[in-house]
Amino acid sequence: MTNIVAICGSIRKGSFNQAVLDAAAELVPDGCKVTMVPLDQVELFSEDLEDDLPPGAQALKDAFDDADAILIGNPEYNHSLSGVLKNALDWLSRGSLGSPLRDLPAMSVGASPGPVGTARAHAHLRVVAWTIGMRLWPGPEVLVNNCKDKIEDGKLTDQGSRDFLEKSLKNFADWIERLD
Ligand code: FNR
């Protein structure tokens, strides 16, 4: 079973990005499962905390012990990643957590009420992923633009978006299999 650990860069109740992750959990191909890991208890990163990990960072670390891949809900804040997401990635990049993202296959999805979706946040994530050593899937990112028309009551209802997400997850899973 391929364990895909999912984190969402929004901790907002009713988050559109969380809704896309929830849809992904339904649509992953057979042989894959999605494990949601909330970020709302992850402390703000400080090097001062690394010698004695606080509970939120420890729980984040533990969630990656048996991760085969990471799925990232990537909201766009000011044309970039949210602070919540960057904070988690900063923790996970560190040797104090065993650098669990190094060489880990990764895929990002995003939703925005705006017309260009989360294209700019995805582009910025590529820079961070390259720096950390995550193996970010080179395929097209799933971005749900104008998402207020496509997500209702926390559910991704737009069939075109669901089809694209499902196809992307299949391609991602196939790509993971091909990686050494
Ligand atoms: C935003 N939003 C936003 N949207 C976008 O498409 N491009 C952007 O640059 C920004 N910038 C931005 C900054 C800040 C501080 C906030 C709070 C919001 C809108 C954003 O996409 C919208 O609030 C989403 O609903 C956030 O994702 P969740 O919480 O629904 O997952």
Read off the pLDDT of residues 98-145 as tens digits, 9 standing for 90 and up: 999 999 999 999 999 999 999 999 999 999 999 999 999 999 999 999
Question: With a threshold of 0.95, does the pTM exceed it?
Answer: yes
Pocket of ligand 1 contains residue 13 by CB under 6 Å: no
Kindly write down the DSSP assignment for every residue of 68-126, as one continuous string: SEEEEE---BTTB--HHHHHHHHHHTSGGGT-TTTT-EEEEEEE-SSTTTTHHHHHHHH
Contacts of 131 (CB under 8 A, 6+ apart): 93
Kindly state the average pLDDT of the residues 146-167. Answer: 98
Pocket of ligand 1 contains residue 45 by CB under 6 Å: no
Output the average pLDDT for the chain: 97
Cβ atoms < 10 Å from Cβ of 13: 7
Kindly state the average pLDDT of the residues 133-159. Answer: 96
Cβ atoms < 10 Å from Cβ of 29: 13
CB 81 within 8 A of CB 119: no
**95-133: b (≥16 Cβ within 10 Å) or e:** eebeebbeebbbbbbbbbeeeebbbbbbebbeebbeebe
Residue 127: domain span: 2-178
Kindly state the average pLDDT of the residues 141-164. Answer: 97
Closest C-alpha residue for ligand 1 atom 15: 77
pLDDT above 90: residue 180: no
Which residue type does 73 have?
G
Read off the pLDDT of residues 45-81 as tens digits, 9 standing for 90 and up: 999 999 999 999 999 999 999 999 999 999 999 999 9
Number of domains in the chain: 1
Pocket of ligand 1 contains residue 112 by CB under 6 Å: yes
pLDDT above 90: residue 32: yes
* CATH number, position 68: 3.40.50.360
Exposed, middle or buried: residue 40 (CB in 10 Å: 0-12, 13-18, 19+)?
Answer: exposed
